[in-house]
Amino acid sequence: MFRFIFRLLRTVWSFIDGTRRVVTNLILLLAIVAIIAAIAHPGPTVPDGGVALLVRPAGTLVEQAAFDPFLSVLSDEQQKETQLPDLLEAIRAARDDARIKLLVLETDGLDAGGLAKFGELRAAIADFKTSGKPVLARGEHFSQSQYYLASVADEVHLAPDGFVLLEGLAKFTTYFRGALDKLGVKVHLFRAGEYKSFAEPFTRNDMSAEDREASQALLDGLWGRIRDEVSAARKLSPAQFDHYVLNYLGALKAAGGSRAAAAQAAGLVDRFSTRDQWRARIREHLGNQSKSAGEDFRRVDANAYLAAVRHARSGKPDQIAVLVAQGTILDGEQSPGNVGGDSFARLIREARENKRVKAVVIRIDSPGGSAWASEIIRRELELTRQAGKPVIASMSSLAASGGYWIAAGADEIFADPCTVTGSIGVFGLFPEFSGPLGTLGLSVDGVATAPQAAALDPRRPLDPVAAEALQLDVDYTYRRFLEIVAAARKMEPNAVDKIARGRVWSGQEAVSLGLVDYKGGLDAALFSAASRAKLQDYTVIWPTQGVPPMRRLLQQLFAAAGDGNFTAAPGAVNGIARRLAADVRSLALWNDPRHIYIHCLCEIP
């Protein structure tokens, strides 16, 4: 029996050891192949003779990929992501490239990304049109955000059985107060700013009057921009646009139930086209009128084109570092997808100490988070300015609360008109579970050396002295927030307080209020950084936090082999799973050493 067990264990160990050797050798082989490919590959090229730049974003439009493309090759559970800065750079380069004859936009794979990101990409496409080159867009169907992007094209094509869904903007929140009351859980809220609504779902059963006022004003402003820009692009009056949105059922009845016909009758699309007809139309624009209906058109994918452009530009000595602050701001070390106080501060220091880096652009797409971590990051930006390197803040879809706190460390702030920003307010939360424990017959008792030794024990009722101390800390942090903003914006703290109080603003409003310097996207921020640093010829670099060198090498290898978009598990179940995973990850928010937060529940899809 002992010999049998020994042989069994030895066999199992041999299998494990063999598997380990195979995996190690595969990784080593991949690294060798990557190095050889990097040395021997002549570099990406763009075909001559006139091609179409194919812009086909997929998944979520992000500032910086948080998911790992290497792991996505091994599993289909990775979420698709498309990096907005890559598309902007490719489109900007294609505008003046004689090899690119037109831009082809296909939006079917695009899921989400934030209104300001769509607006910035839309503006880049509009700028491309100033070269005189046409832009053609098509969708099997169009969601609201997809259509907002596609509407800028010279021709908008729709599948014969497709639809254009324009539904307006909304903000609805789930409130937990009733459920918490039934469980006997008390949530103590400490805040500064009556518009600071992040914690209200835990303390209310409905939307507060202040949140309702601010949210309605924000949504009305953002929707007005969408309506005005789409109407102008499609040569419609705002009234015609509103009629389609507000009287969709009537438009559908008038079109005999055909959603595609209703969209065309409203002037939202130019043509219906099947996939082969779409390819034929593009070939006409390229001057290739082949009679083969199934023949594809001459094209270059945006990622492949960008690789060729960057390869041709490589080697410039001066650099501008773009540091992406995307996600919740948390204390300590964090990987891409969240902003770590320590890890992001290290990125800033490295840029400051790098002699080749002449300026820093901080690209912010964050609702905030830890007040402690936000101040660590802002201070590093301030030190970078003191070292003589310009710092420009570029706001993406969301730069609120802690996102605005760190922007205050910049020389200038740029925002898209649809950026959600502000939310200058502070809150703290303390959950108390003494009620549920008592219901279960559990009691808590003990001794301490001082009254506050166990004051923040959630098993016990919150001590009034501790509650007062928490509110004082929140009030102090709010005053500190006001002082930082006032110093950065050259305003009086009282003047900042009038537009703060936790209220959110659009980028358009933030400019008029003095919270933002200029309307503009990433390109405008880079131009400002280059001007301040007196740079004519430079390279833009994108340092990332928490990615080991070997992983970066493997990412580059796999990105070079494909189009940079990786498949996620399809269907509604996968979407729900991703949402639940995001909710679980959001629990990591509560890691501020002082339990004081500057976070905004204000993102507009």
Give the active site residues.
Answer: 196, 401
Strands (E), 401-484: 412-415, 420-422, 426-432
N residues, the chain? 605
Alpha helices in 268-365 (DSSP H): 275-286, 302-313, 341-353
Residue 426 β-bridge partners: 192
Contact 393, 407 (CB under 8 A): yes
d(CA 449, CA 207): 43
d(CA 358, CA 409): 17
Beta strands across the sheet bearing 299-301: 271-272, 155-158, 135-139, 100-106, 51-55, 299-301
What is the distance of C-alpha 396 from the center of its chain?
A: 7
Taking CA atoms, 6 is separated from 1, 10, 19, in Å, by 9, 6, 20
Contact 394, 361 (CB under 8 A): yes
Beta strands across the sheet bearing 59-62: 81-83, 59-62, 110-112
d(CA 379, CA 371): 12
Map residue 192 onto helix, strand or coil: strand
Map residue 354 onto helix, strand or coil: coil
Taking CA atoms, 387 is separated from 206, 216, 359, 423, 540, in Å, by 49, 43, 11, 30, 20
- In terms of phi and psi (left: phi > 0; alpha: psi -120 to 50; beta: otherwise), the region of 132 is left
Contact 392, 412 (CB under 8 A): yes
Handedness of CA 582, 56, 313, 553 (dihedral sign): positive
Taking CA atoms, 490 is separated from 284, 386, 420, 494, 512, in Å, by 56, 17, 22, 12, 15
d(CA 152, CA 136): 9
Alpha helices in 440-565 (DSSP H): 464-489, 493-499, 507-513, 522-532, 549-561
- Number of Cβ atoms within 10 Å of the Cβ of 18: 10
d(CA 326, CA 340): 10
- For tokens 């945006």, the residue is 302
Contact 442, 431 (CB under 8 A): no
Contact 253, 148 (CB under 8 A): no
d(CA 396, CA 364): 6
Contact 268, 164 (CB under 8 A): yes
